Amino acid sequence: MDPETGTITQERKDSIQYSMESVFERVDKLDAIADDLVNSLSPSKPLLNSWPGRENTSYMAGFYGNTFYGVVIGLAFSGLLALVIYIASLMKGVV
């Protein structure tokens, strides 16, 4: 190997050269897929197969989903607490 020119071997007439363009295209495609996989971890990054302008879709879906479940669990807890208070007031004279 010649470090000044970057050649590894001498060119010979009996050797065959292959085009690496198809390999580079596949590597670029895999690189885009790997970047999309990393971007899927962030709610503010666009995904590869999504429409433009949908960068914060998963953030908003998480916000609304968590709000819904918070309200449902809060109402269930409040209803259970009201039931316990009502039963305690009914048993006030019995105990």
Nearest of 16, 34, 17 to residue 26 by alpha carbon: 34
- For 21, how many CA atoms within 13 A lie in the half-sphere containing its CB? 2
Q: How many domains does the chain have?
A: 2
Cβ atoms of 44 and 56 closer than 8 Å: yes
Asked if 49 and 62 sit in the same domain, the reply is no
- Within a domain: 41: yes
- Within a domain: 12: no
Torsion angle of the four alpha carbons 80, 81, 84, 86, in this order, in degrees rounded to the nearest 10: -110
Asked if 51 and 70 sit in the same domain, the reply is no
46: domain range?
19-55
Query: Where does the pLDDT of residue 73 fall: very low under 50, low under 70, confident under 90, or very high at 90 and above?
Result: very high
Q: Which residue has the higher pLDDT, 79 or 59?
A: 79
User: Which pTM value belongs to this model?
Assistant: 0.52
Contacts of 32 (CB under 8 A, 6+ apart): 48
Asked if 95 and 62 sit in the same domain, the reply is yes
Asked if 49 and 30 sit in the same domain, the reply is yes
